[in-house]
Amino acid sequence: MVTEWRVTPDDWDEAVASVAGPQLVVAGPGAGKTEFLVRRALHLVDEAGVAPERLLLLSFSRRSASDLRARVQAGLGRSFTTVPASTFHSLAHRLLEAEAPAALGWRQMPTLLTGPEHVALVAELLADEDPSGWPLPLRDLLATVTFAEEVRDFLLRCQEQLVGPEALGAKAADRADWRALPAFFSRYLAALEERGRIDYGTLQAQAVRLLDRPGVLSRVAAGFSHVLVDEYQDTTVAQAALLQRLYRPHRNLTVAGDPYQSIYSFRGAELHNIADFPAAFTAADGSPARRLVLTTSFRVPRAILDAAVRVTAGGDLPGAAGPVTPAPGQGSVETYVFDQQSHEAEWIAAQLQRTHLLEATPYRRMAVLVRTKRRLLPELSRALERRGIPHDRPDARLADHPGVRMVLDVVVAATRNGPAVDQAMRRLLLGPVFALPLGQVLQLERDRARGGHWPELLDDVPGGAALAGLLDDPAWAAAEPAADGFWALWSQLPHLPALVASPAGREDRAAWSSLSQALGRLRERDPAATLADYLRWTQEEDFEATPLLGFRPTDEDRLTLTTLHQAKGLEFDVVVVADAVEGVFPDLRPRESLLGARHLSPSQPGDPAGYAHFRLQEEMRLAYAAMGRARRRVVWTATAAGLDQGEGAPSRFLPLVAGATTVAAAARPPGEPAPQVVTPLEAEAALRRTLRDPGAGEPARLAALDALGKGPRWRLRPISEFGGVRARGSEAGLIGAEHRLSPSQVQAYVACPRRYAFERRLHVGDQTSVYSAFGTVIHDVLEAAERSALARGEELSTLDDALDALGTRWDPAPFGGGAWAEGWRRHAERTLRHLYAHWPGKGKAVALEHPLELEIDGVVWQGRADRIERDRKGALRIVDYKTSKSPAGKEEAAVSVQLAFYLLAARADPEITEHGRPAEAEFWYPARYDRKSVATRQLDARRLDEVRDVMRAAGEGIRAEQWPPTPGAHCHSCRVRLVCPGWPEGREAYAG
């Protein structure tokens, strides 16, 4: 029978001193599990006379192991005292390093695989597999990285469950989809041994097997007399088995945990390890291990504890602590719902700043916790930066630090192709290394689009020759060891030493030091790995997330932004659980792997309904653990999704947290006074509200206007920085010495020169519409489909090609999300179906999205032809897709500037004329699908001279900056009519 002792605060001294035999310490949030282990360790050393090095302290993560060690060493107050504290993985590594050479015949310790290396090895072995030995549905997947990741995860789960190839073979007898895995498992283990590598799962399994070798356990156990384990609820089967062997010689084992904080099943943690502990770890006389239940929380007050319990209601777990007495004080739990995610982020940032200023709460005592970093944290980070609140950016990986990102951008530019290179070059040229004006960068990008190469384009950039040299010869990034490549970059790019020597370069200098250290470690693991390899791995997985050298200032009071899982073991005064949206938290998306790895675990239900319930229960425990991090205040926030966020609703947890079926809104109730103004931004907002309020009275409004006008004196923003106020533009002409025209520009100029000047040159009302977004999608889809057909040697793509391309390119965001986006997608599908059902083409494409250029009277014209096809007689036709439902009139198309340009430019393009003579140009209107054919409109090639005269006149008018208005039917949709002198209301905008 299990002996249980419910330990009150008054019983702590006696409980801590009762050290003999196996014991399980169970406690709720803030009840002192870790503190109990620390006091027991101190008692063993100070009172029982155990040498510190004879203790073994274990925990789930490096952070918690380090915390254990630091607290015990601080309590001992001795210099040069080493307390063995580590993670299970670190312990397993030390055991194998010390004992495996003699017991297993290893010549040296295998090198641990990083995540990307692990996937790469599995992928390499799968590529050599005989497909006939695998189940039919999996054969086509053997060469894919995705399947390699699935198999890697499956093998890790096997090792965590101590399931070897033979045991897996027995399990596979009942599962056809596993039939090839036992043999592959054996082959994989042989490959590890042959190459001197080991993965984290095999590391633990090998340590367990090592301790079963004769004589090994007695030698290992002789090194320590007491084992203390924290966060036992997060242990795997293999880790529990490791403890079972380590404790046997002396039976002095104390573990601490809380089943309600078991949140790592996806990493192999076994929920029932705590419940099974008393029977699995018996005393010398065979009696079950004793349970010590810590009854009182020293951190979590009643309101927070009650809310946390409500979230987990109905989820009773075997081995739990039972009712917990809350800490003194009431505490508070609040829930807020917003209409936009930006509103949510701004409100959180403002609340944290107010708490810091009004309640003197340090930022380091506050945290914002989210289920995933991908959604809210970037927006929240920007809101925090606007208020000057120090925090770790959500891109807190070393590889994402701006200084390191700059180094990797040079690697991208030197070793990659396509749009990624141009994006990397834009960041480099605009960033602190070159700090070029935006206009100069845009000009370089235009030159690049016309076929220029970056090394050549950098000739006129100050210091650009050094970067050009690196781009011309990428061996430093693609062939040399990564550390040597970084040194070559540092040596050849003169901007870097000057950058880190400046006061602003302090953090960059620390980041590059960390990068240098990370690359040095990479050289030890894989001497042939290059910077290009390092770049690829950082994009696949965060394998260098914890560098040995810190790259952020440690002396700054910083707010914590992190995930709910990563907050485990931390504590704060204020915790904000943000982005609590259904589908995000709880995250109930199916985690079922292709191979069903969860069926290896004895604690995870096999049936879909039971597994879904298990997942929900773990999400509840995650909410419970997050709330238990707070001492004083917990705030839950969510955004009831609008058009920009897709569909979504506040989490089902919010009503449970609030203790009611409704959730408090973020708006201030009517009649409640405005909160006290405490920051310059709040003062500015209050003054602007007063200025716009007719009921505030004229003196108050004039005073507000005066204060806003003198803003910088009071640390407010100057009026010119308010949203919607453009910077004063240049008084020079709109047209530069070298200007280039496009057919669409001239078409707009011919319609109305005044409107052209405002919209195309001054960008008044310049914004993307759903119609232009739809046109872009259709053009991209048709280009992709046709290129696919050309690659196959076929004359024409198929509807399936086009629909597949649509599926991979469709983004609902530009179309408003939800039902609106679905409607536009159906419109796209119907457009494509109509086009392919009534394809108006008469030949095979010879060019797609082909750039064209033509010079008329010294003015360069540029454009891009959607499709150029050749008919059976050898004549070429230029096609331009139009996604409007209203075809142009036949006369309008006959003299179209756009079609005329295409035909004239194509006739002057040697790449096109080698396929034949361009003879025709026409528009296609596939979106008009109520017709029995695709509407087309043709250029009258006999009138080319007439259209050329129009183009020449338009070019001269634009160069001479002649902007007369031409009122007409098009004016009803004009966005600049209010300032157009062609209309009575517009004349008021001009003095004469």
- The whole-number pLDDT of residue 989 equals 54
The helix or strand, by DSSP H or E, that contains position 62, with its residue range, turns out to be helix 62-76
CA 737 to chain centre: 44
Instruction: State the average pLDDT over residues 184-208.
Output: 93
Q: How far is it, in rounded angstroms, from Cα 809 to Cα 974?
A: 32
Q: Give me the DSSP letters along 576-615.
A: EE---BTTTSS--S----TT-GGGG-TTS-SSHHHHHHHH
Specify which residues 229 forms β-bridges with.
58, 255
Q: What tokens does 483 get?
A: 């550390």
What angle in degrees, to the nearest 10, is found between the helix axes of 402-415 and 506-525? 60
pLDDT value at 978 more than 80: no
- Of the pLDDT bands very low, low, confident and very high (cuts 50, 70, 90), residue 991 is very low
- The whole-number pLDDT of residue 551 equals 45
- The whole-number pLDDT of residue 519 equals 84
In tens, the pLDDT along 95-148 reads 999 898 888 888 888 888 877 788 889 999 999 999 999 999 899 889 888 899
- Of the pLDDT bands very low, low, confident and very high (cuts 50, 70, 90), residue 182 is very high
Identify the three-state secondary structure at position 863: strand
Is the CB of residue 869 less than 8 Å from the CB of residue 846? yes
In tens, the pLDDT along 11-36 reads 999 999 999 899 999 998 999 999 99
* Residue 706 to residues 125, 687, 698, Cα–Cα distance (Å): 74, 10, 12
Q: How far is it, in rounded angstroms, from Cα 347 to Cα 342?
A: 9
- The whole-number pLDDT of residue 645 equals 44
Q: How far is it, in rounded angstroms, from Cα 897 to Cα 750?
A: 9
The helix or strand, by DSSP H or E, that contains position 983, with its residue range, turns out to be none
CA 703 to chain centre: 46
Lowest mean pLDDT across 64-78, 647-661, 723-737: 723-737
Q: What tokens does 796 get?
A: 């024409």
Is the CB of residue 944 less than 8 Å from the CB of residue 739? no
Lowest mean pLDDT across 27-31, 519-523, 860-864, 866-870: 519-523
Lowest mean pLDDT across 242-251, 345-354, 634-643, 845-854: 634-643
- The whole-number pLDDT of residue 939 equals 94
**Residue 837's closest CA among 929, 922, 938?**
929
Higher-pLDDT residue of 534, 166: 166
Q: How far is it, in rounded angstroms, from Cα 581 to Cα 645?
A: 11
End-to-end Cα separation, the chain, in angstroms: 101
pLDDT value at 543 more than 70: no
pLDDT value at 626 more than 60: yes
Instruction: State the average pLDDT over residues 399-409.
Output: 81
Lowest mean pLDDT across 221-230, 532-541, 728-737, 925-934: 728-737
pLDDT value at 672 more than 60: no
Q: What tokens does 837 get?
A: 């059902």
pLDDT value at 541 more than 50: no
**Residue 881's closest CA among 837, 938, 925, 830?**
925
Q: How far is it, in rounded angstroms, from Cα 283 to Cα 280?
A: 10
Q: How far is it, in rounded angstroms, from Cα 627 to Cα 636?
A: 10
Instruction: State the average pLDDT over residues 658-672.
Output: 55
In tens, the pLDDT along 464-481 reads 888 989 999 999 998 898
Instruction: State the average pLDDT over residues 622-642.
Output: 89
pLDDT value at 376 more than 60: yes
- Of the pLDDT bands very low, low, confident and very high (cuts 50, 70, 90), residue 795 is confident
- The whole-number pLDDT of residue 547 equals 41
Higher-pLDDT residue of 958, 717: 958
Lowest mean pLDDT across 516-525, 740-749, 752-761: 516-525
| Residue 768: Cβ within 10 Å count | 9
pLDDT value at 757 more than 90: no
| Alpha helix segments (H runs only) across 908-982 | 910-913, 944-959
- 919 Cβ neighbours under 8 A, 6+ residues apart: 875, 876, 877, 941
Q: How far is it, in rounded angstroms, from Cα 803 to Cα 823?
A: 16
Q: How far is it, in rounded angstroms, from Cα 273 to Cα 256?
A: 11
- Of the pLDDT bands very low, low, confident and very high (cuts 50, 70, 90), residue 548 is very low
Q: What tokens does 886 get?
A: 């209203």
pLDDT value at 482 more than 90: no
pLDDT > 90: percent of the chain: 36
- Of the pLDDT bands very low, low, confident and very high (cuts 50, 70, 90), residue 445 is confident
Instruction: State the average pLDDT over residues 624-648.
Output: 79
Is the CB of residue 233 less than 8 Å from the CB of residue 123? no
Give me Rg for the CA atoms of the chain.
34
- 257 Cβ neighbours under 8 A, 6+ residues apart: 24, 25, 26, 33, 230, 231, 232, 233, 234, 273, 274
Over the chain, what is the mean pLDDT?
A: 85
CA angle 64, 584, 330 (to 5 degrees): 60
Q: How far is it, in rounded angstroms, from Cα 618 to Cα 259?
A: 10
